[in-house]
Structures are given as structure tokens and as C-alpha cells.
Chain A
Amino acid sequence: MAPLAPRTGDAVFANVERVNAELFTLTYGAIVRQLLTDLEEVEEVNKQLDQMGYNIGIRLIDEFLAKSNVSRCVDFKETADVIAKVGLKMFLGVTASVTNWDVDGTSCSLVLEDNPLVDFVELPDTCQGLYYCNILSGVIRGALEMVSMKTEVTWVRDMLRGDDAYELRLKLLKQVPEEYPYKDDE
């Protein structure tokens, strides 16, 4: 029996249950709004969003693997491609392009033309330091950590701050080898 071929982002997206995009956007907006009220500091909100994303990411990875039939990636390049073409498509309904590789192949940019999180959003003057979509970077960081890749994910460009696209910078810090988890003393 041949293993199932990995499914494309479109194929998975077509099969999963979806929720109305506006409901999703507005719910996310309400969460950010509430965090701003509760935490007051914009920096704290960025941190909190990242942490929430991380918690989502460490669970979401299993759903991603189970539904997409993606097996282990050979290198970080393939990983970035899979995130951009399958992962984002499956959960957000958009795709990103992967660009700006550095020479070692350990960091790259994901450029999103379209971002469903930010419809109807404008940043007021008091929130200029806010990374509104910081939850996304947390999700990616959490998911990659579960497949043994320690990464750093940061926003480089943000349309809400007047840039021309959304750009996430992915940097691979280290790949954690699989170790025998028990001590020898028993």
C-alpha cells in the first residue's frame, strides 16, 4: 500500500469545516480590543497575542499533520514552503510567497498579500506600537517548535502601519535532535 500523497492546501481547505470570515475577523478584533483594555500597555498586548498564538500552534500542528498528510520536511526551505502554501491556506484560506532567503537557508520572509484578520481594522494613534496580527507569528512559532524547530518569528512589514504588504520574518535558531528522554539510573 502506497502512502497517501500529501494533499494540497486547496484540497484540505475545501474539506475542513469553515466559519464565516466576518465572524472570524470580528471575533479576533474583539479579542484584541479586550486585551488592550485589560492590559493597557501595547507591548503587553503584543506579548499576550504571541503567547496565545503559541498555545494554538502547539495543538494546531497535529491537526495540520493529520489532515494534510504532509510527512517530514527535508529542510527548512521545504518547511517554509509548506507553511506558505498548505498551512496558511488550510487554516486562514490565504497563501503567502516565500522570499528573501539568506545564504545559509535559515531565514526567510513570508509575504502575505491578503490577510483576513485585518478587514475593517484601523490602528488609532494610541496603538501605533501594536502588532495587530501577532497571534500569527505565535502560531507559527508554536507549531514549528512541536516539529523540533526552534524559530524566531517577527513582523517586518505590516499594512496597518502603512507598509505595502504583510511580511513575516522566519529565522531558524536550532533544530533539536531527538533524544532518549529517560535517565540511565533506573
Chain B
Amino acid sequence: MQFFGGSDISPSPPVATGSGSNGHMMYVFNRNGICLLYREWNRPLRTLSSQQDHKLMFGLLFSLKSFTAKMDPTSVDKGNLGVPQLPGQGCSFHSFRTNTFKLSFMESPSGIKIILVTNPKTGDLRESLKYIYNLYVEYVVKNPLYSPGTPIKCELFNTSLDQYVKNLA
């Protein structure tokens, strides 16, 4: 039987294979497009208001997911582009890379989306995002003072996140 807090976060953090601060920023969205958390470590250039920025990011992911499902060569059953999909339908992407950054993306079946923007040389971060999801569960979901669906204001979560992202390869 399981009660609040105290349990170890499993799996244990993936081993960092390099050092240096590669993380630029991170977003956590819920299924309603509400930005639960925005964390910034290294972002010299900002052109939009934070609200527009969050919205643009969410829209990008939403459309990209819809595109990947549409382009999927292995599945027969695809809806029309832009038509809402049932949960579990369609494939999704893990990351994309440009010449200046890499964006890694994870979505849980409960609709929590975690986005990490890093240096383009960063390796596969799927395990790291899973670990961050575990941090979210331990420090946010299990926090009785946190009401679901509201922006996260949890010092402990932020510090462990900063710590973890700093050591990412």
C-alpha cells in the first residue's frame, strides 16, 4: 500500500554522461493547454510575451503531433488532418533538432506534456523526461497543497529540476 511521500523516485536518474549547462528552457503543459510550469536557464533572445510564447509552443506540438500521425506510413487508419484524435490514436514524435537547439517531448496518457529545449548536441532524452515526470509525481502531484490544473509553485520541485537539468549531457 502506498501513501504520500517518502518513496524513492524510480527509475533512478539516468547517468549523466557529460557536464555543462545544456538546458535552455522547459515547459510543462496539461491537456487543457495550461502551462503548469515554465523554467528558463539560458535564453538570451526573447521576442514574445510569455503568454504568447507558451501558446505558440503548445500549438506547435499539437500540430506536429497531428502531422506525424497523418504521415505515418505504417498505419491504415488515419483521420483527416486537424480532426481531433481519440487518445491512443496516432503516433507521436520524441524530439526534433534544428541547427541551434533540440526540442525533446514527452506526453503521458493523462495529457501531461513535458518539453525540454537543449543544446543541439544533446543525446536521447526520453529517459530523462520520464525521470522528470517522476519528479513531477513526487513533488507536485503528491503535494496536498497543490491543486491539479494550476501553475506549479513548488520550490522543491524547481530546485531538484534545476539540479537535474544542469547535469544533463
Q: Does A associate with B in a complex?
A: yes
Contact with B along A58-84 (1 / 0, CB 8 A): 110111011100111110000000000
Q: Which 4 A-B pairs have the closest CB atoms?
A: A181-B33, A177-B84, A72-B88, A17-B7
Could you tell me if B1 and A148 are in contact, using CB atoms closer than 8 angstroms?
Answer: no
Interchain nearest-CB distance for B63 vs A (Å):
9
Could you tell me if A72 and B109 are in contact, using CB atoms closer than 8 angstroms?
Answer: yes
Could you tell me if B1 and A65 are in contact, using CB atoms closer than 8 angstroms?
Answer: no
Please, could you name 20 A-B residue pairs with CB atoms under 8 Å apart, sorted by A? A16-B2, A16-B7, A19-B3, A21-B1, A59-B141, A62-B108, A62-B133, A62-B137, A62-B141, A63-B142, A65-B108, A66-B137, A72-B87, A90-B2, A148-B87, A178-B86, A178-B87, A179-B84, A182-B55, A182-B58
Query: Complex: how many Å from CA A93 to CA B62?
Result: 38
For chain A residues 89-117, which have a beta carbon within 8 Å of chain B? 90-93, 116
How many A-B residue pairs have C-beta atoms within 8 angstroms? Tell me: 103
Contacts of B74 in A (CB 8 A): none
Interchain nearest-CB distance for A65 vs B (Å):
5
- CB-nearest residue of chain B relative to A61? B110
Interface of B is mostly: loop
A126 within 8 A of B: no
B53 within 8 A of A: no
B13 within 8 A of A: no
- CB-nearest residue of chain A relative to B126? A1
For chain A residues 120-174, which have a beta carbon within 8 Å of chain B? 146-149
Interface size class of B (residues with CB under 8 A): 35 or more
Chain B residues proximal to chain A, CB less than 8 Å: 1-3, 6-8, 10-11, 31-34, 55, 58-59, 62, 84-88, 108-112, 124, 126-127, 130, 133-134, 136-137, 141-142, 148
Contacts of A93 in B (CB 8 A): 1
Query: Complex: how many Å from CA A4 to CA B124?
Result: 14
Contacts of A148 in B (CB 8 A): 31, 86-87, 111
Could you tell me if B110 and A146 are in contact, using CB atoms closer than 8 angstroms?
Answer: yes
Query: Complex: how many Å from CA A18 to CA B84?
Result: 40
Could you tell me if A65 and B110 are in contact, using CB atoms closer than 8 angstroms?
Answer: yes
Most-contacted residue by chain A among B58, B136, B137 (CB, 10 A): B137
Interchain nearest-CB distance for B141 vs A (Å):
5
Contacts of B142 in A (CB 8 A): 59, 63
Interchain nearest-CB distance for B82 vs A (Å):
8
Could you tell me if A17 and B2 are in contact, using CB atoms closer than 8 angstroms?
Answer: yes
Contacts of A72 in B (CB 8 A): 87-88, 109
- CB-nearest residue of chain B relative to A179? B84
Contacts of B11 in A (CB 8 A): 4
Query: Complex: how many Å from CA A70 to CA B6?
Result: 23
